[in-house]
Chains A and B, each alone.
Chain A
């Protein structure tokens, strides 16, 4: 079960990555090997085994609905590459 260059191009696009065509071929081979490795798991017979939602055997961890102090605006904007003192700034985007 190896991957095609087209499949790699598709996931690359979803991850907003751009590759040259020779890179796509190379990654198709590399990623295909990883997928094949993981695919060995499908050899295990899981008939009747309940699906696991989380590796920890813990559930229903909740907190009360209480407001706690967050960051100040200056702190929240501090690591942003671009801001106007009130907002994060990003290159113009079309309305989604």
Chain B
């Protein structure tokens, strides 16, 4: 924090779209990008007489998420109507959960962005299931034409994950969201695609300011429309500055002003007032008579806990303690997702050293995935294959530069073994005697280099390496350098 005069206090509300095939209370498809108003039915259109029926899979995904977030899980949960008027909410209420959410208090630990070896914890207030609203498209330019409404998204299952105000910096907010997204993708409960709105964040922000030995709090502002992690970071920095300046000007504290809602405009880099927030009671929550309660027994929760598998925190820990990776490297591999950790594990169990496997994963494998826009699952070189190549490097049969050529060939022809690929590129282990005579030959041809080295300029030998490579592409540059220097020393 650049200005020590205040402390930034942030809580985040994250809406996650659960990966179900059909909507929360009806059988309409949830697939993104369909033509407007083609994935609708009487239930999600709110037509009279239509009745909602709960999607079993949405419940399963919410339970999985809740247990992974260390939540106290409800054994009895119910549905409530949140009433408000907006054109993209056809029923005039949203089915949500008010007083008995499916997931109660929990927490999420994540690496401290200031120090990847230590962890931060954000407590969670609750997480509840609710249905999404539709999409409104406004006449942004003139504001005069009618707004167009697409109800395809209406009724899509969301899990709203509400944090306590435990976040103290914009960087920590981004780190929390990054970890939450990683966890949710590990669990397979959401694709967390922000462009498609599968993960949306709102932030509740205010400042604690030290004044004459006492602490004053500025009015709480809810910042909406945070459509990327970068937007979250920027909006929080902007909001901290804005609130501090506002307080300096007006002296307004949390006791003087109601909670305000502001919208973040990412292009302009500013937030603007949207509305004074309705009181919670203004939503006139009441139990939805169309839906019966949901009972979840302890055995089901236990089964969900047992089926979680290794979560990101445990992956990081294991890569550090079992494989000796540095915290930073363990974090990079883990943050690529569960499939990448599995790929890494397969490399190691096929015989690669953890250090070399981590380095190749982080450089060559990750770069290729990024360039090709592939998922790990689509990566053509199987782990055992790549492990053969890494073993060949380890054994000194091939140098790193030529290994990268083999890697490229394997990408094109994944059916080859590493040995076949090496052969196709004419790579073979060169015996020591052959390299020695090559080096001697080079020294004889280049007396100038020899005298430079004898004068104390060992770097001059570098000039010979390119020539050696030309004469024998399998010559290991490091080996050529060592042998040349040894031969020159011996000639003294």
Chain A interface residues (CB < 8 Å from chain B)? 14, 16, 53-56, 58-73, 76-77, 82, 84, 86-96
Contact = CB atoms under 8 A, between A and B. Distances in A.
A46 B40 CA distance: 43
Interface residues of B, number: 55
Nearest to B28: A70
Given A88-B87, A96-B86, A66 B292 contact: no
Contacts of A69: 27
Nearest to B282: A14
Given A88-B149, A92-B143, A70 B27 contact: yes
A63 B27 contact: yes
Interface stretch (B54-62, B111-119, B215-223, B350-358): B54-62
CB-CB nearest 3 A-B residue pairs: A68-B27, A70-B41, A65-B57
Contacts of A95: 138, 263, 274
A77 B40 CA distance: 10
B40 A65 contact: no
Interface stretch (B30-38, B189-197, B250-258, B325-333): B30-38
Interface string B268-309: 000000100000001010010101111100000000000000
A65 B55 contact: yes
A55 B29 CA distance: 31
B20 interface: yes
A53 B57 contact: no
Interface string B439-454: 0000000000000000
A59 B35 contact: no
Contacts of B282: 14
Contact of B284 (A14, A58, A86): A14
Contact of B294 (A16, A59, A82, A89): A59
B147 A59 contact: no
Contacts of A53: 76, 78, 100, 287, 293
Contacts of B83: 14
Contact of B138 (A55, A82, A92): A92
B42 A63 contact: no
Contacts of A86: 35-37, 148
Contacts of A14: 83, 282, 284
B161 interface: no
A92 B145 contact: yes
B416 interface: no
B280 to A, nearest CB: 13
B39 interface: yes
Nearest to A14: B282
Interface in B36-86: 36-42, 44-45, 53-59, 76, 78, 83, 85-86
Contacts of A77: 37
B55 A62 contact: yes
Contacts of B57: 64-65
Given A14-B284, A67-B27, A93-B87, A87 B78 contact: no
Contacts of B284: 14
22 contacts: A53-B100, A53-B287, A54-B292, A62-B54, A62-B56, A65-B58, A68-B22, A68-B27, A70-B39, A73-B36, A82-B146, A86-B148, A87-B149, A87-B150, A88-B37, A89-B149, A90-B146, A90-B149, A91-B146, A91-B147, A92-B144, A96-B86
Contact of A61 (B28, B37, B54, B147): B54
A29 B478 CA distance: 96
A69 to B, nearest CB: 8
A43 to B, nearest CB: 22
A68 B27 CA distance: 5
A91 B136 CA distance: 11
A61 B295 contact: no
Contact of B274 (A65, A92, A96): A96
Nearest to A54: B292
A66 B23 CA distance: 9
A65 B24 CA distance: 9
Contact of A71 (B45, B58, B143): B45
A89 B145 CA distance: 9
B162 interface: no
B41 A60 contact: no
B399 to A, nearest CB: 53
Contacts of B39: 70
A90 B147 contact: yes
Contacts of A55: 289
Contact of A92 (B28, B78, B86, B147): B147
A7 B148 CA distance: 34
Contact of B139 (A56, A58, A63, A92): A92
B151 interface: yes
Contact of B27 (A61, A66, A94): A66
B267 interface: no
Nearest to B145: A92
A96 to B, nearest CB: 6
